[in-house]
Amino acid sequence: MTATRRALHGISAFALVYLLAFAAARAEPLGAKWNEGTPDCATKPGPALEIHRYDERTVILREGLCTTWEAPFMYLLIGTEKALLIDSGDVEDAGKLALGSAVQKLLPGEGSQKLPLLVVHTHRHLDHRAGDQQLMRLPRTQVVGFDLDSVKKFYNLPAWPEGSAQINLGERTVDVVPTPGHSETEVTFYDRSTGLVFSGDFLLPARILVDDIDAYRQSAARLVKALGDRPVTAFLGGHIEMDVHGELFDWQSTYHPHERPLPMARADLQALAAALARFNGFYTESGGFTLMNWFRILLVIAAVVVLVLLALVLALVWVLARYLRRRRRARVAAQAA
């Protein structure tokens, strides 16, 4: 490398560091107050989509509680060569929520010079990918498949869930760590530029829905190791389902008064790992988390219902048998008389 090229390289590196520091200095608080929704969506539906700029290159989007009670978060990360959208929400109908046009307006450039867009998912559940069809219609946009084979192929992770991957957006690199447990396809994203961790439904201020407890525990350990001593600004999950006192809102509620802030800390990852170690396989409250396995809970409920119905049937059979015996005895007594 010549002296001139070394000098230019040094200037470029200094400029990049300066720009990142400048962007960080202008970053807005992550604990933004989102619309709390309402019990009466028919008269006061609120905004269909809320948009919060963390900095010039990082945008947080949330679908309104009256648009969908899931109210999922989506994240737009902008690099110099492409932009990355993490998740596409719970709304497919553009007439209900025009996600495609909203994202298009957020991308730098005009017309054919719009920055290319890459759409990925934290996992395959519908409330994180329903908007894919809208985004597929945008020019210069690639939407990664949500099934496990597509995920493994795109990130080149044949030994899933081992290994990790990187997405280069141009002067912005995002690390991808497999974290199955809530869903077989779950991944967590770490943005080196901001120190933000996008944790989907793996770590979030909401119910922790466990699909595979062994995978979940291994994923927590894997993420702790992957982050190592890297700077972590905050964990940003896919939903908020609790208030500032840590109480969960009712399931499918469209009203979140005094909702707690979205960001979680590195300590919450450690607390989640400890809570997972104590999980009984059905329902556990530990370390500020409520962990549950809906499938097993429903199985228990179904088994109880079956046992109750069986007990009722047996009771009815017993009552009917006693009634018939009495009738028979009465007839015999009448004939003897």
* CATH code of the domain in which 287 resides: 3.60.15.10
The helix/strand/coil state of 153 is helix
In-domain check, residue 127: yes
- pLDDT values of the chain reduced to their tens digit, one per residue, 337 residues: 444 444 433 433 333 333 333 343 345 678 889 999 999 999 999 999 999 999 999 999 999 999 999 999 999 999 999 999 999 999 999 999 999 999 999 999 998 899 999 999 999 999 999 999 999 999 999 999 999 999 999 999 999 999 999 999 999 999 999 999 999 999 999 999 999 999 999 999 999 999 999 999 999 999 999 999 999 999 999 999 999 999 999 999 999 999 999 999 999 999 999 999 999 999 999 999 999 997 777 776 777 777 788 788 888 888 888 888 888 887 887 777 6
In-domain check, residue 307: no
In-domain check, residue 245: yes
Query: Taking each helix axis from N to C terminus, what angle separates 266-278 and 213-227, rounded to the nearest 10 degrees?
Result: 150
Q: How many structural domains is the chain composed of?
A: 1
Q: What is the pLDDT of residue 332?
A: 80
Q: Identify the helix (H) or strand (E) that includes residue 337.
A: none
Q: What is the pLDDT of residue 303?
A: 75
In-domain check, residue 337: no
Range of the domain at 260: 32-292
The token pair that represents 327 in the structure block: 């009738």
In-domain check, residue 321: no
* DSSP label of 57: T
The token pair that represents 259 in the structure block: 């909702």
In-domain check, residue 26: no
In-domain check, residue 329: no
Q: What is the pLDDT of residue 292?
A: 97
The token pair that represents 279 in the structure block: 């999980």
Q: What is the pLDDT of residue 139?
A: 95
d(CA 317, CA 306): 16
- Give me the DSSP letters along 239-255: ---BBTTSPBPPTT-SB
Provide the 10 A C-beta neighbour count for residue 110: 7
Q: What is the pLDDT of residue 23?
A: 40
In-domain check, residue 324: no
d(CA 64, CA 34): 9
d(CA 95, CA 309): 46
Amino acid type, 32: A
